[in-house]
Amino acid sequence: MICNLCPRKCNAERTATENIGGFCREPLKPHIARAALHFWEEPVISGKKGSGTVFFSGCNLGCIYCQNFKISKENYGKAVSEERLAEIFKNLEMMGAENINLVTPTHFTEAIISALKIYRPKIPIVYNSSGYETTEQIEMLNGFIDIYLMDLKYLDPLRAEKYSFAPDYPDYAKKAIIKAYDQVGGSVVENGIMKRGLIVRHLLLPQGTREAIKIFDFVKDNCRDAYFSLMAQYIPLSKAKEDKVIGRKITRREYEKVTDYIINSGFDNVFIQELSSADKEYIPPFDLEGI
């Protein structure tokens, strides 16, 4: 197929085993680096039993600071059929997972839909993405996804271009988030576990306090019944180490400027990650477990 699935509009030729000219460099057949219970998501996602997390290889965004660069940039992973992907969903469900958590799924949307048609777990399906989606793609997922766990990384196109090579990211991400919110409606949480809804994440970057506050305000003003999750786990890795702005961790002053604003906003549906989370030990081991 000729792929123009995501905002990149690569016009790439993708077959079951090859990708010619595509930014994500992934074929149509899904590649997975890990499928296991994961306990480091938001409390309403991980719960007590863990989130049944499937880490897909490749990425359509490609941030220079990605902590999962082994799979997002190096495309590490193992190819599986749609039938095997459905089995993986079932196995995670049998292990007691609170949900099936699809991490970086954008470029495998069609394969994921096919797998869910083969076997649809009785637990929520979480679409965990960078936010760099088209509204048409979100519409494709209607009826298959219960929870959208989406990043809103930037509202500044210059920062989006510098760090993710996507100056159009803010426009696409805002529209995709609103589309996802309209699709799943207000958040439904039962016994501390989300069953349906939207969580918008933002990773606080160095010198990014103003943008973080603007992003929080966007969520508060446009997705009132959604959740906002401020992430503080930023570590300069890969090419980010060389950058004069983001070549360091965030400071406590930056962290508190944003958290104080959020706490005093009157918006209750908020998760705030501890500053101590900026540690490599929280990066999952991509070891083909569960595949």
Per-residue pLDDT at 283 exceeds 90: no
pLDDT tens-place string over residues 95-107: 999 999 999 999 9
Cα 99 versus chain centre, distance: 15
Residues 101-121: what's their mean pLDDT?
98
Quick one: which H or E segment has residue 51? strand 51-56
Given a cut of 80, is residue 282 above it in pLDDT? Answer: no
- Most distant CA pair in the chain, distance: 51
Predicted local confidence at residue 291, as pLDDT: 95
Beta carbons within 8 Å of 89's beta carbon, 6+ residues apart: 52, 54, 100, 115, 116, 119, 121
Q: What is the pLDDT of residue 281?
A: 79
- Model pLDDT, residue 174: 98
Q: Where are the domains of the chain?
A: 31-282
Rounded to the nearest 5 degrees, what angle is found at the Cα of 287, between the Cα atoms of 283 and 290?
A: 110
Quick check: 90 pLDDT over 90?
yes
**41 to each of 103, 192, 277, how far by Cα in Å?**
11, 13, 12
The sign of the torsion formed by the CA atoms of 241, 243, 248, 249 equals negative
**Separation between Cα atoms, residue 144 and residue 112, nearest integer Å:** 9
Q: Closest by alpha carbon to 109, among 145, 160, 70? A: 145
**pTM for the model:** 0.97
Q: What is the mean pLDDT of residues 224-236?
A: 96
Q: Does the pLDDT value for residue 155 go beyond 80? A: yes
Burial readout 163-195 (b: 16 or more C-beta within 10 A, e: otherwise): bbebeebbebbbbbbbbbbebbeebeeeeebbb
- pLDDT score, position 23: 96
Model confidence band, residue 280 (pLDDT cutoffs 50, 70, 90): confident
For residues 198-209, give the mean pLDDT: 98
Residues 6+ apart with CB under 8 A from 111: 28, 29, 30, 82, 85
d(CA 80, CA 85): 6
Q: Quick one: pLDDT band at residue 278, thresholds 50, 70, 90?
A: confident
pLDDT at 12 over 80: yes
Residue 30: its pLDDT value, please? Answer: 97
DSSP H/E element including 278: none
Average pLDDT estimate for 132-155: 98
- Cβ-in-10-Å burial (0-12, 13-18, 19+) of 117 comes to exposed
Q: What stretch of H or E contains 148?
A: strand 147-151
Residue-level pLDDT at 263: 97
CATH number given to 31-282: 3.20.20.70
Assigned token pair, 271: 């998760």
Task: Single out the residue of 148, 157, 47 nearest to residue 106, CA to CA.
Answer: 148
